[in-house]
Amino acid sequence: MGSSRTILRDLRYINNYLSRFHKSLQSTYFEKLIAEAFSHVLHLPFYTISDDNKDTLYCIIWQGDISNSSITKAPQGEPDAVAYCYGFYLLIEATLKTGANQWSQEFAASIRHCENFCSKNNILPENVFALLVCTDLHKDTYRSIQHNPTEYKLIPIEIPNLSKIIETSILAFTIRHIELRRLLIKILETVRNSSSLDDFRNTVNDLVTDWQKDVLKIEKNALVGLKSYETMQRINRTYIGVSEILKELQKDRTIDKYFKIIGEKLSFDIIEESLIHQSLAFRLTSTYEGENLFSPVPFVDFNGRWSRFIKAVEELNG
């Protein structure tokens, strides 16, 4: 599986990606790419249906297979991929069809797939989301989802918005599964309440943009703390001023893009707050000018603290 940035590039330039493969295989490679994308979004291991080392409850399973020089599409009667998330499940359906047959030949079966999955695994429908991923949503698919209500959550996602979702996961360094669930519920509400396909698209585009900003704000301290810690390790001195860390971080492309998206400016206060809240450094002293000097926390100290914290949370959850 490619890196998250490779997957993002392939999604953004989907036609270039598909042109690498024979036309008869493009739909298979497309569904595999979409499954890999969600593996990166959710930070879950990726497996094919034939892998015999699926040793975790939480993972992405692409129902197709690839071995040696051959690739096999997910079988009919099954979703293309299943994501076993923290507290919910994604049944992922992916298609390159863009015409009037998009619903009847591809996505209509997702209702039956949801029914079978819930029945087989004794799972409540409220915890299952069917993601209908395509390059271009057809108006008949939109109307079919909107005018044929079902207890199952059918959520169309076009490639540009999936690209922004995986970009968010890359920038945020880490993302809580509940944040993705929150976005999916909002998209579901939009599909039900929008007045037209154009209205749906415009609203969802705004939703994903706002969601990205919200997620990045939540994860800001984690990223800035990690980047600041990385800078301190590179400088490799006992006493390091915040101004020196700020100067280095202002050269970082990820930090620059991150703060442009959330509409904020990196500052001394943000760096200090991030280092302290993430337990990555401690304040030693300050200069005569009042600038705080920090020292990185040794890894064994950091690891010990968070290990105790994780153990305590595990005990609270039985």
The pLDDT averaged over each successive group of 10 residues in the chain (318 residues) is: 90 95 93 95 89 77 84 86 94 94 89 91 92 95 85 93 95 88 95 94 97 95 94 90 94 95 95 92 83 88 83 82
The pLDDT of residue 55 is: 63
Total count of domains within the chain = 2
- C-alpha–C-alpha distance, residues 145 and 158, integer Å: 15
Same-domain status, 205 and 286: no
The pLDDT of residue 314 is: 83
The pLDDT of residue 74 is: 84
The pLDDT of residue 194 is: 94
The pLDDT of residue 302 is: 83
pTM (predicted TM-score): 0.89
Average pLDDT of every residue of the chain: 91
- C-alpha–C-alpha distance, residues 156 and 41, integer Å: 17
Same-domain status, 204 and 231: no
The residue whose two tokens read 């301290």 is 221
Same-domain status, 214 and 244: no
The pLDDT of residue 91 is: 96
**Domain-terminating residue out of 152, 183, 218:** 218
pLDDT digits 0-9 by tens, 178-234: 999 999 999 999 998 999 999 999 999 999 999 999 999 999 999 999 999 999 999
Same-domain status, 159 and 246: no
The answer for residues whose C-beta is within 8 angstroms of residue 18's C-beta and 6 or more apart is 26, 29, 30, 96
The residue whose two tokens read 């979004």 is 41
The pLDDT of residue 54 is: 64
The pLDDT of residue 285 is: 81
C-alpha distance from residue 202 to each of 12, 18, 108, 253, 289 (Å): 19, 27, 24, 29, 51
Residue 240's domain is classified under what CATH number? 1.10.10
Same-domain status, 187 and 93: yes
The pLDDT of residue 197 is: 95
Same-domain status, 93 and 183: yes
**Whole-angstrom Cα Rg for the chain:** 22
The pLDDT of residue 286 is: 80
Same-domain status, 180 and 256: no
Same-domain status, 148 and 275: no
The secondary structure of 113-132 as a DSSP string is HHHHHHHHHT--GGGEEEEE
A 10 A CB-CB count for 16 gives 10
* 132, β-bridge pairs: 93, 156
Residue 289, domain extent: 220-316
CA atoms within 13 A on the CB side of 196: 3
Residue 178's domain is classified under what CATH number? 3.40.91.50
Same-domain status, 147 and 165: yes
Element counts in the chain: helices (H) and strands (E):
14, 11
Contact 133, 94 (CB under 8 A): yes
